[in-house]
Chains A and B, each alone.
Chain A
Amino acid sequence: MKIDDFKSFSTACFRDYPPPCTCACPLEVDVRAIIDKVRKNNFTGAYRLYRNKVLFPAIVSRICDEPCRLHCVRGNSDESVFLRKIEAACVAFTKDAEPTRYHVPKKPYTVAIIGAGLSGLSCALKLAARNYTVTIYEKRDKPGGQLWNLLPPEIFLAEIETQFGRVEYESFYSHEVENLDNIAADAIYIATGKDGNDFGLKDGMDRNSLGTAGQGVFLGGGILGASPVEAIEHGVRVSYSIEKCLQLGAMDGVPETYTKPVAHETFYELPVKKQHSSISGKVQLVTEEAVVESLRCLRCNCSQCHAGCELMKQFKAFPQKITTDVISTLRPIEKFSTRIASRMINSCNVCGLCGRACPEQVDMEACFLEARRRLHKDGAMPAAYHDFWLRDMNFSCSEAYFLYTPDGVEKSGYMFFPGCQLGASDPDYVVKSYEYLSDLHADTSLLLACCAVPADWAGDVAMRDAVLEKIKSDWERIGKPKLILACPTCRKTFERYFPEAATISLYEMLAQSDMKLSVAQPGSLPVSIFDPCSSREDPSMQKSIRALAKQCGLLVEELEIMPDDALCCGFGGHMYAVNPSLFKNIVNNRIHAGDNEYITYCTNCRDIFAASGKACKHILDVLFTDNTANRKPPSLSRRRANRMYLKTVFAEKSGIPRPIIPPGDHEEMRVHIPDELIQKMDTMLILEEEVQTVVEHCENIGEKLFDPKTGWFIGHKRIGIITYWVAYTKDDAGITLKNVYSHRMSIEY
């Protein structure tokens, strides 16, 4: 995939595409932009935008039949926005009505316009502004055509004179053209109006370009039954068709001018708060009234992804900006641009909600994951972003890795794969689940490992595949059993990268089984199910959880957004180390999404919410353990110790004796770490063993500082890519940690 191909992730995004009103308008007036200006009392700016499209604002704002009002999204709720009245206000209150002066080189072509009604005049104005030689022929003695039936002449004649004030053209009034051959011109526009002379060219017309069978001759406006505003559009369209004809000889016109935009249905799903107009009876508005009415405009635009994404809100980004920034980041130009979006790319929870919410399935998860792979490949991924979790994954896949098969079993029908965090949070989750599963099927094996998603999130494809290789080879050796998965993210990961394995969720197995589940006494208070983001693609897992909840007698009050729009708890994508403020924001939003205690089935969701003080249980707490909803998660080091404990439990079941750890001859070196510092270390992703290593290094080598004021020793050591600092006391009681901190920068001596 080439870097520029990243743009394809957002091409289907229609943000900033024309809203229903603009789509309905023959002249595609930029309603959103005009409303923006009016809201800020900038009638002059709004007037210019309006004039840009309608050419004769004083005329159009009086006679337009308002097709926009039929399509205004407000129409379904209260009243369509009175846009024409706002436009009339712009005409009345603009501080400057002078037409723009164009400086364009003279074109060596002559164009004849037959008919000085709105259509002919529009075409003439456009071409004259581009400095073609324009000649208007009008059979009456004054311009205006149909306008003589619609408006007082002093209004439209003055407007015509104003708008033509800065361009050059020739006009012949009281001059009826009877034969086109008498006209000396490179191109002709026949705009003779309703019942006008079509010179026999109406048949066989190209209704898109408005070209006739005659080379260089075009026809449009009232003669084709166009309304006044449509007639202006014809004139504008023909000006482009004529230009193409003069430059290329082609009569097929310019597609952008005749392909009408179609409004996306999503615009009609925008939330509308009822608010009737205060000006519906008024004919002419004062400025304040125009501003008030402009506030009723919803400025329709699609924000489906943005509305549900804290990242997009923090970075003020929509998909098109995201792909642009990603491209810049992957191709920084030395000394000119930087990897501006590296943090954003790594701040994503990769939950995929955006693609789900988008009417066009624009998928920023896929974009960000691919961008991470690129960054990694280019050696441009800041290692500290994913370092802790990669080390944790490696721990789960080496020291804590274990394949357990029951005695005498060589091939299993089922293999329980609890994932790396379930046992880390509480080994009983795994032990008790496994006991139950092995009662169902005695040959069930167990694999303690990590599904490799951390490597995927870090963009390290080679590492991800290497971890999966090891799992696959053990799975093959055990007879390719059906995998029982407890973690929805393991399931999502295996579906993508290990599709050959049949999988079933632990919860479906439990819900379908006939055996009685030992349940804790259900409380009488209602609970809400928090579906983890990765469960979104697995409705059967979501249903199984609800079935289990019902079996346990839980009273479930569903959260508003679940289960279809399941959200990430903040853990996804490792964004914690990249963007702690966004993480905090996300967690805060999640725990306040409902007042009830949460039941969830992803360990990270459970632990993150409980750590933030939200009452939250894992479904396995309801089924197997006695844990309360307020159980604080174990520290990072304890999570590792729990995994090792699980390994020894199952190793013993396999007949492998517990390793004998000789009595510590370094007992006096064991660092005592107070609880507050454990908590601090958890937030900084520092392990107890790292503190132990640094202190031992300082003590053994004698490289330490001393602060006589406090009596503390201070030292540091770089382990991996992080430098850790410790402050500690050492006395008869032993070594006590007093402070700890770290940094990513390295000290070069």
Chain B
Amino acid sequence: MSRIRLGARLVGADLRRRSAETLLLLLALSVAATTLTIGLVLHGQTGAPYALTRNRTAGPDVVALLFPAPGKTLTAGDLSSLKAEAARPGVAASSRAFPTTWAPIGAHGVNGVAQVQGRDLAASSVDRPEVIDGRWVGGRGVVVERAFAQAMGVTVGEMVALGRRQVRVVGIAVSAALPPYPQLCTVGCILDRPDWFSAQPGLVWTTRHRAVALASPSEPVVWFEYLKLHHPDAARAFASASTSNGPPQGRPQLTPWQDIAGRQAEQLANERVAVVFGSTLLIMLALATLIVLVGGRMTDEVRRVGMLKAAGATPGFVTRLLLVSYLSIGLLGAALGIAAGRLLAPRLVTLSAGLLGHVGATTLSMAQAFTVTACVLAVVVLACAVPAWRAARTSTLQALTDGGRPPRRNRLLVAVSATMPTPALLGLRLAGRRPRRAVLTTLSVAVAVCGAVVVLYAQASLNADRTHAGGPADPQAAQLHTVTTTLTLLLAVMAAVNLLFVTRANAADARHTLAVARALGASPAESAAALGLAQLIPALTGLVLGLVTGVLLFHTLSSSDPVAPPTAHLIAMAILTVILVAALTAGPARVEALRPISKSLRDTSR
């Protein structure tokens, strides 16, 4: 018991002694845990909102859509095929067939395309859209699907131009029968006007009479009918049985509810992919930060271990002490990350307005919380286990007298640098002294740049889609834009934290070399430039590596043809990275270079 108390006291004292480093490390681990938590929260959410909406609005199991043959219009006789579907075995209930067409819609200067569906005043047995505001379709006015209403910026009571007439919005509603804006068309649309080629329509409900009146030869009336099955899970088999003989000619196209749910989930799935990708990069950065931090502290730690061992501590006790010291930061970081992730998930990621419910913080299960904690602790163990074991194995005498691991010698770098000016001569040799740290700097910058490149590509693709589509803003794209921008900022912050750690560790490590070099005639400016260069060389390598990896990664992951961001954006990002690295390095390098030589030599005497 007394040993545990002693251990706790030593760990507490160590963390307090290095409060700034502890806080930065806590920040790195918390940010990684936060994004991982958000990713897991989203993972549990993709199907839930649609299920809730479907349940509350008596959503159909199968959507039957009857198109006219090209250049023709449907007659009353054609509707018999819809009736035949409703009469098939397995169908428990069906709605009436609803006439639907497409018409231009405009409000507040925003122009779009509406998919106008004619409905009855009475509630349907299948698909009863839930009215969120106002009232259901009456003699006058229209009801607008909520996601579309938000994109158009219209509210109940306002007038919109629909076709050639001004109509009042009498209600805002949500339905599970069709995917909400902007994915409505994935079930089926006729958009034959040249300027509508890539338009994203939104759903508007009105009376049957008005819907039919809006039809034109280019946008004829199509008919929707919604079916409820005895066994909803058999919807996919029901739909495919009808189309197993090829495409429907004169017969309705059937879409099972699972397909619609899949479309609904796409938005969250995209965001989840972005968050999981981002959290993976952030965890890699946290690992690099931790390795640099532990490596940088080892000189001090080894001496501390020597003192502990001299006082009678066993190697096992010392190893446990070092591990517990870092694991306690890891545990706190995981706890903070989980709390922040639960808090931020509903704010950062809102569901489509076309669905009921919201991203709930309470949906994070114990297993998911455990996963986040396990990931963070695994990162800590991965970074600390070897140094802790090595420190514990170092002989007491060596630990008390030695100053950490000796620097590496790179014969080629020494030879090449001999022909260079003083800053390059010293800088290259400094970079070569700690190759592992240089590799970590390269990887940190590469990870951050890679993330930024992927985000630039993703945003370029989103912008291209939006430009191509025209019409009201795409809320999904806007949200994905927010998520990816936030992730980029987090990556930049984490990479900056990492660079600060590396610069500090490099500056401390280079203190002796630079003091000797200055005693031999190197000026402070040359010394500062050397230290900066030692940092900049691996960072520039990381920049190039990140650019190439990011482009390759996006081309690999992208399902469609990727749209390249403007070259100016990539160049700006590269310049910004160099400026950031230079700025982060310049301060510590300048401070180190101006340190009194006699003091540095005294402090680093071996």
> Are these two chains actual partners, yes or no?
no
Residues on A lying within 8 angstroms of B by beta carbon are none
Q: B-side interface residues toward A, CB under 8 Å?
A: none
